[in-house]
Amino acid sequence: MTGDHLPDHLERYACDVRDLLGLQDWTITITLVDEIDHDPRTGGQCSYLEPYRIAKILIRRDATDEKMHEHLMHELLHAALAPLDYAAQSAVELVPKPQRKVAKQMVYDGCERAVVALAKALVAGIRPPPSSPSAVCTPVLE
Protein backbone atom coordinates (compact mmCIF):
# COMPACT_ATOMS: atom_id res chain seq x y z
CA MET A 1 0.00 0.00 0.00
CA THR A 2 1.35 3.41 -0.88
CA GLY A 3 0.38 6.83 0.32
CA ASP A 4 1.18 10.51 -0.06
CA HIS A 5 2.81 11.31 3.27
CA LEU A 6 0.41 9.07 5.19
CA PRO A 7 1.69 9.06 8.79
CA ASP A 8 3.17 5.71 9.86
CA HIS A 9 0.42 4.94 12.39
CA LEU A 10 -2.28 5.53 9.74
CA GLU A 11 -0.34 3.43 7.22
CA ARG A 12 -0.27 0.58 9.77
CA TYR A 13 -3.99 1.03 10.43
CA ALA A 14 -4.76 0.95 6.70
CA CYS A 15 -2.69 -2.24 6.29
CA ASP A 16 -4.49 -3.87 9.23
CA VAL A 17 -7.88 -2.96 7.74
CA ARG A 18 -6.77 -4.18 4.30
CA ASP A 19 -5.82 -7.53 5.80
CA LEU A 20 -9.03 -7.74 7.87
CA LEU A 21 -11.09 -7.20 4.72
CA GLY A 22 -9.13 -9.73 2.64
CA LEU A 23 -7.61 -7.17 0.28
CA GLN A 24 -4.00 -8.37 0.58
CA ASP A 25 -3.78 -9.10 -3.14
CA TRP A 26 -4.98 -5.63 -4.13
CA THR A 27 -2.75 -2.74 -5.15
CA ILE A 28 -4.08 0.14 -3.07
CA THR A 29 -2.86 3.73 -3.28
CA ILE A 30 -3.90 6.15 -0.55
CA THR A 31 -3.40 9.84 -1.22
CA LEU A 32 -4.00 12.73 1.15
CA VAL A 33 -5.67 15.65 -0.63
CA ASP A 34 -6.95 19.11 0.26
CA GLU A 35 -10.45 18.52 -1.14
CA ILE A 36 -12.47 15.91 -2.99
CA ASP A 37 -14.81 16.84 -5.83
CA HIS A 38 -14.89 20.47 -4.58
CA ASP A 39 -17.15 19.31 -1.73
CA PRO A 40 -15.99 20.19 1.80
CA ARG A 41 -18.32 17.50 3.24
CA THR A 42 -16.57 14.67 1.40
CA GLY A 43 -13.92 13.05 3.59
CA GLY A 44 -12.84 10.21 1.33
CA GLN A 45 -13.31 8.58 -2.03
CA CYS A 46 -12.47 5.17 -3.48
CA SER A 47 -12.11 4.41 -7.18
CA TYR A 48 -11.45 0.80 -8.08
CA LEU A 49 -11.04 -1.68 -10.89
CA GLU A 50 -12.15 -4.88 -9.20
CA PRO A 51 -11.15 -7.27 -12.00
CA TYR A 52 -7.57 -5.96 -11.69
CA ARG A 53 -7.65 -5.61 -7.89
CA ILE A 54 -6.59 -1.96 -8.00
CA ALA A 55 -7.96 0.79 -5.77
CA LYS A 56 -7.13 4.47 -5.43
CA ILE A 57 -8.29 6.10 -2.22
CA LEU A 58 -8.37 9.84 -1.54
CA ILE A 59 -8.57 11.08 2.06
CA ARG A 60 -8.76 14.71 3.14
CA ARG A 61 -5.53 15.68 4.84
CA ASP A 62 -7.25 18.01 7.33
CA ALA A 63 -9.19 15.15 8.96
CA THR A 64 -8.42 14.18 12.55
CA ASP A 65 -6.85 10.77 13.16
CA GLU A 66 -10.23 9.47 14.34
CA LYS A 67 -11.92 10.69 11.14
CA MET A 68 -9.08 9.30 9.03
CA HIS A 69 -9.66 5.88 10.65
CA GLU A 70 -13.35 6.16 9.75
CA HIS A 71 -12.62 7.29 6.19
CA LEU A 72 -9.98 4.60 5.63
CA MET A 73 -12.31 1.87 6.87
CA HIS A 74 -15.19 3.24 4.79
CA GLU A 75 -13.20 3.51 1.57
CA LEU A 76 -11.49 0.13 1.98
CA LEU A 77 -14.94 -1.41 2.52
CA HIS A 78 -15.95 -0.03 -0.87
CA ALA A 79 -13.04 -1.95 -2.40
CA ALA A 80 -13.91 -5.10 -0.45
CA LEU A 81 -17.54 -4.90 -1.60
CA ALA A 82 -16.59 -4.14 -5.22
CA PRO A 83 -17.82 -7.53 -6.53
CA LEU A 84 -21.26 -6.82 -5.08
CA ASP A 85 -21.26 -3.33 -6.59
CA TYR A 86 -20.27 -4.66 -10.02
CA ALA A 87 -23.04 -7.29 -9.85
CA ALA A 88 -25.63 -4.70 -8.80
CA GLN A 89 -24.56 -2.28 -11.53
CA SER A 90 -24.78 -5.09 -14.10
CA ALA A 91 -28.29 -5.94 -12.90
CA VAL A 92 -29.29 -2.28 -13.25
CA GLU A 93 -28.43 -2.49 -16.94
CA LEU A 94 -31.29 -5.00 -17.27
CA VAL A 95 -33.79 -2.40 -16.03
CA PRO A 96 -35.75 -0.65 -18.82
CA LYS A 97 -34.00 2.56 -19.83
CA PRO A 98 -36.66 4.98 -18.50
CA GLN A 99 -36.26 3.58 -14.95
CA ARG A 100 -32.51 2.99 -15.08
CA LYS A 101 -31.47 6.31 -13.53
CA VAL A 102 -33.69 5.70 -10.51
CA ALA A 103 -32.43 2.09 -10.24
CA LYS A 104 -28.79 3.28 -10.30
CA GLN A 105 -29.50 5.79 -7.53
CA MET A 106 -31.24 3.10 -5.45
CA VAL A 107 -28.23 0.78 -5.79
CA TYR A 108 -25.81 3.60 -4.94
CA ASP A 109 -27.83 4.71 -1.88
CA GLY A 110 -28.22 1.15 -0.61
CA CYS A 111 -24.52 0.36 -1.01
CA GLU A 112 -23.51 3.62 0.66
CA ARG A 113 -25.82 3.07 3.65
CA ALA A 114 -24.46 -0.46 4.08
CA VAL A 115 -20.83 0.73 3.90
CA VAL A 116 -21.50 3.53 6.42
CA ALA A 117 -23.08 1.08 8.90
CA LEU A 118 -20.34 -1.54 8.48
CA ALA A 119 -17.55 1.04 8.78
CA LYS A 120 -18.98 2.47 12.00
CA ALA A 121 -19.31 -1.00 13.50
CA LEU A 122 -15.83 -2.10 12.50
CA VAL A 123 -14.13 1.12 13.61
CA ALA A 124 -15.84 0.80 16.98
CA GLY A 125 -14.49 -2.72 17.29
CA ILE A 126 -18.02 -4.09 16.95
CA ARG A 127 -18.70 -3.17 20.57
CA PRO A 128 -21.61 -1.02 21.71
CA PRO A 129 -20.54 2.19 23.41
CA PRO A 130 -20.56 1.89 27.23
CA SER A 131 -23.39 4.41 27.53
CA SER A 132 -25.62 2.39 25.19
CA PRO A 133 -28.81 1.17 26.89
CA SER A 134 -28.88 -1.83 24.55
CA ALA A 135 -25.45 -3.15 25.47
CA VAL A 136 -26.89 -6.66 25.86
CA CYS A 137 -27.99 -8.42 22.70
CA THR A 138 -30.84 -10.88 23.08
CA PRO A 139 -31.25 -13.14 20.07
CA VAL A 140 -34.74 -13.97 18.85
CA LEU A 141 -35.14 -17.68 18.21
CA GLU A 142 -37.99 -19.14 16.24
Measured CA to CA, the distance from residue 39 to residue 101 in angstroms comes to: 23
Number of domains into which the chain is organized: 1
Residue 80 is assigned to a structural domain of this protein: yes
Measured CA to CA, the distance from residue 27 to residue 53 in angstroms comes to: 6
Burial class (CB in 10 A: 0-12, 13-18, 19+), 102: exposed
Share of the chain above pLDDT 70, in %: 85
pLDDT tens for 21-57 read 999 999 999 999 999 999 988 999 999 999 999 999 9
115: domain range? Answer: 2-123
Q: State the pLDDT at residue 138.
A: 46
Q: What is the mean pLDDT of the chain?
A: 87
Q: State the pLDDT at residue 125.
A: 80
Residue 11 is assigned to a structural domain of this protein: yes
Q: Give 43 or 125, the one with higher predicted confidence.
A: 43
* 58 touches 69 (CB < 8 A): no
Instruction: Find the mean pLDDT for residues 121-127.
Output: 77
Residue 129 is assigned to a structural domain of this protein: no
Q: How confident is the model at residue 137 (pLDDT cuts 50, 70, 90)?
A: very low
For residue 13, what is the domain's CATH number?
A: 1.10.10
Q: State the pLDDT at residue 6.
A: 81
Residue 138 is assigned to a structural domain of this protein: no
Q: State the pLDDT at residue 7.
A: 86
Instruction: Find the mean pLDDT for residues 109-138.
Output: 73
Residue 14 is assigned to a structural domain of this protein: yes
Residue 76 is assigned to a structural domain of this protein: yes
Residue 64 is assigned to a structural domain of this protein: yes
